[in-house]
Amino acid sequence: MSYSQSNQSFNEKQLRSILDNTVEGIVVIDSKGTILSFNRACERLFGHSTDEILGKNVNVLVPFPHHAHHDGYITNYLNTREAKIIGIGREVFGKRKDNSQFPMWLSISEVIEDGAHFFVGMIRDITEQKRHEGEVKKYTAALERSNSELDDFVNIVSHDLKEPVRGIYGYSQFLQEDYGMLLDEDGSNKLQCLMRLSERMEHLIDKLLYFSRLNKTELSHTNMDINKVIDEVLVMMEPFLLEQKASVVIETELPVVMCDQARVDEIFRNLIANGIKYNDNIEKIICIGVTTENKTKPGQQVFYVKDNGIGIPEKHYESVFKMFKRLHSREAYGGGTGSGLTIVKKIIGQHNGDIWLESKLGEGTVFYFTLEGNNERD
């Protein structure tokens, strides 16, 4: 192709060629809807050849019952100059020569040249796009159903699993009440053991149920003043703190964060409780604060909960977050199901944050975490 040197423009033949060879369909109509131009892409889209379609009304390409709308649009626009589709563009359906329909994106512009008034329509076939959207919808629905079924399953199973546990615990208690005096110390201990084990089973099932519910229930999104959140947590933990001779120090002013209050409560409660439980000092101290100068996430708001407890060996930095994983024997350090950190990590994940730790054996541990605010991503 060669341009005319003077103004870099194309000649008519070249312009026609360009028009004819666009990927998108271009159809030109007059204000009565008569088709004046119909490019090659349109031939492919609609199945009509240019020759047979020129001079026909554009309604030929519009499926019933949208004809009426179509005529209405043009008339309305010419009378009111109010663009409902002109200059805008929208999803509509097109009708092929074989009467089949397809979804398309149509954008229309108006051309006024030498007293002639045209409308130029650009057409894109969006069948693929719609099919893809449809699949995403189906997939999302299936996923929701699956989640809902899983939750029902866990609910039912928990209840059914708990029943015999209640039975074992219950009858152990009756044995104790009715025949306890017939047992020697060893016998009594065994009975106590039985009861403890069934209690433990109940707790494990409860935690499992709770953890699975975390997946299902939606987070609430509110701007929370974390200072206030911690105040409330400390009020709730007061008896425990007193009993353990523990003090909690808030080292820095804490920010306002978009989060779910109940769940963020849970994060702090768990971390504080752990720092006190796994602690051999007479005076247990927990420090809480926020920093933007953390090496792992510089510039981000990183919360920390620091304790003067027993510390965690580096090789266990990952495994502490595993469900039901404890680092000590069953009853040591106040016992527990080993699910606290798993739940904390889950909640932080739901807030699109991260949690990690640093520790020195015999000196203490710091848990760091971010709460990057709720995106739709879960």
Three-point CA angle 95, 96, 100, nearest 5°: 75
Q: Does 64 bind another protein (CB under 8 A)?
A: no
Q: Quick one: 173 or 261, whose CB is closer to another protein?
A: 173
Q: Are strands 35-38 and 364-369 parallel, antiparallel or unpaired?
A: unpaired
Concatenated DSSP letters of 170-220: HHHHHHHHHHGGGS-HHHHHHHHHHHHHHHHHHHHHHHHHHHHHHHHSPPP
Strand partners, 119: 29, 110
Total of chain residues touching another protein, rule CB under 8 A: 17
Q: Quick one: 87 or 187, whose CB is closer to another protein?
A: 187
Kindly indicate which of the ranges 51-59, 68-76, 170-178, 251-259 contains the residues binding another protein, using the contact rule CB under 8 A.
170-178
Annotate each residue in 194-233 with x if it binds another protein (CB under 8 A) or - if it does not, as one string. ----xx--x-------------------------------
Shortest Cβ distance from residue 153 to another protein (Å)?
15
Three-point CA angle 26, 27, 32, nearest 5°: 160
Q: Does 147 bind another protein (CB under 8 A)?
A: no
Kindly indicate which of the ranges 49-57, 58-66, 155-163, 251-259 contains the residues binding another protein, using the contact rule CB under 8 A.
155-163
Strand partners, 38: 27
Out of 44, 69, 132, 159, name the contact with another protein by CB under 8 A. 159
Q: Does 167 bind another protein (CB under 8 A)?
A: yes
Judge contact between 148 and 170, C-beta under 8 A.
no
Q: Does 153 bind another protein (CB under 8 A)?
A: no
Tell me the C-alpha distance between 322 and 15, whole Å.
67
H or E stretch at 304? strand 302-307
Out of 113, 128, 177, 243, name the contact with another protein by CB under 8 A. 177
Shortest Cβ distance from residue 170 to another protein (Å)?
4
